[in-house]
Structure 1
Amino acid sequence: MKGPVPIQDAMASDTEPSNTIKLLHLLFLSTSWGMQVWVTFVAGFVMSRHLPRHTFGSIQRELFPYYFHISSTCAFLNLTLFAMSHPSESLSEEHKTQIIVFLVCAAASVLNTQCFGQVASDLVAELQLVERSHGLGQELGPAASEPRRQLRASDPSYRRLARRFALHHALSSLCNLLCIVCNGLSLCHLAGQLSAL
């Protein structure tokens, strides 16, 4: 007959997340980070160099709401799963840092979904209408910048619209990069917990 379970072992088993929770956490984290890296560093660059500007902008306007919502959902689920698996009364400094990283990622994702990314997409649609009326939008890659520069110089309303877009695009990109960094840090934390591959 087995003796009583030591208190330390009982506590470890109470706070140890199940394999299902671990799998879900890893799935959401890797999905989010992989998608962010692909969209940011591969798909965007390839499409911007090989598609007409308005085609590229239209594709982004269609894809980005899905991208932002999936990122936000994954960030929220990662934060929730991690917090549920680490009760606040027994949080180490490392775990507190991880929760802060997940909170920052969730906040940046929600800001991008509800504010910066949405406004940038709406402004792209307005810019495209003005550009189309001037016969612009079918240029490829770097060749697209000169006609738009001339339009900005000659049309003050287009210039204001372009400045607003540049600001919201920069803020959206900053939130996106912040999420990539946060998810990368979380993956590093997880990798440090592995005893084997």
Structure 2
Amino acid sequence: MCVRSVPSKISAGEAAEILGTTGKVSRPGGRRAGGPPPPSFHERRISTAKGTAGVKASQDTTILSQLMIILRVTTQPFHVVAMVAVLVVSAVFFPWKGDEEELDTKARQLLGLLHLTAFATQFGSQIWMTFASGLSLYFSMPRHIFGQIQKVLFPLYFTLTGALSLVTIFTYSQLHPVQNNGPTQMVAMCACFITQLFARLCLCPPLIRFMETKHKMESMASSGDITKCPRYMQYSISFRRTHSATALCNIFTMACTTFHLHHLAQQFCI
């Protein structure tokens, strides 16, 4: 058998041909000729820092999205609101043991100012939302745009008036204990707060959901009478019922605030 021997030396032409074929010649130390130099220590630190910052940003985004899911979907925030409401109502009907005269003059003035500010803001918000904002938007905006605006305003309105009603109850209970002045005003304000809380937690979410579903089905209906669709009519009836219940809650809360307004007017000397 004949074996061809490998030449020990490579000519210059063969070396050039090999270099043209591969395009790379290894140098001592493992680095290839013609390739980019390895990154420096400072560049590696910058790259590592950018990677770490990206990971932290993604983690922060994930935490924020989870928090928004908790606030919008789960019932845990409702539990917190219920606990705070029970604590405030307990503090109202079972106040600290002490006489009304123990409050100094400056503290009573501050509580009175806070009470009037909260009540005036609450009553003004009810008047504006019911008679100014609602009617003007209803007659000047297209129906779908009006629904989109109300979807934002309804939860904010009941949240604001509920919080102001809570402040009103607390300040009035500190200035006028229930045992000394009768429970009439306190019962009216507590009923107002409970109604606003019920409207915000139990009526606003399904109202918005029904409205969004109705608008989506109306936009998807290319032709034909959509009122003939049983599913659409079911959502429409549910929307009307929920909207009517929300309106009744608003009427009742305005009656309660008007009752307290009459009480405050009897106390003033102008």
> Could you say whether these structures have the same fold, taking a TM-score greater than 0.5 normalized by the shorter chain as the test?
yes
Equivalent in 116, 121, 135 of residue 208 of structure 2: 121
Are 1:26 and 2:153 matched, yes or no? no
Say whether the 8 Å CA contact 2:118–2:164 is kept in structure 1.
yes
Say whether the 8 Å CA contact 2:100–2:175 is kept in structure 1.
no
| TM-score normalised by the chain length of structure 1 | 0.80
2: CA distance between counterparts of 1:158 and 1:12? 59
Q: Provide the secondary structure at the position in 2 that maps to 1:162.
A: helix
Equivalent in 164, 183, 186 of residue 257 of structure 2: 183
Say whether the 8 Å CA contact 1:112–1:118 is kept in structure 2.
no
Q: Provide the secondary structure at the position in 2 that maps to 1:176.
A: helix
Say whether the 8 Å CA contact 2:162–2:196 is kept in structure 1.
yes
Q: Deviations over 1:34-91 (max 9, x none)?
A: 1111111121111111111110000111122211100110111111111222223323
Which one has a bigger Cα radius of gyration?
2
**1:14 maps to what in 2?**
102
Equivalent in 238, 241, 247 of residue 164 of structure 1: 238
Change in Cα spacing, 1:25 to 1:49, as seen in structure 2 (3 Å) is same
* Equivalent residues in 2 for 1:65-104, closer than 5 Å: 65-92=155-182, 96-104=183-191
| Runs of 4+ residues deviating >3 angstroms | 11-17
**Aligned residue identity for 1:44:** G
Question: 1:191: Cα distance to partner?
Answer: 0.8
**Aligned residue identity for 2:138:** S
RMSD over equivalenced CA pairs, Å:
2.0
1: CA distance between counterparts of 2:109 and 2:221? 58
Q: Deviations over 1:128-179 (max 9, x none)?
A: 101111259xxxxxxxxxx9xx532x11001110111111101111111111
**2:128 maps to what in 1?**
38
| TM-score normalised by the chain length of structure 2 | 0.59
**1:144 maps to what in 2?**
none
**1:151 maps to what in 2?**
226
Say whether the 8 Å CA contact 2:112–2:175 is kept in structure 1.
no
Percent sequence identity over aligned pairs:
25
**Aligned residue identity for 1:14:** E
2: CA distance between counterparts of 1:165 and 1:121? 9
2: CA distance between counterparts of 1:73 and 1:188? 21
**1:110 maps to what in 2?**
197
2: CA distance between counterparts of 1:114 and 1:12? 36
1: CA distance between counterparts of 2:254 and 2:205? 19
2: CA distance between counterparts of 1:12 and 1:112? 35
**Aligned residue identity for 1:178:** F
Structure 2 residue runs without a partner (length 5+):
1-98
Larger fraction in helix: 1
Question: 1:14: Cα distance to partner?
Answer: 3.4
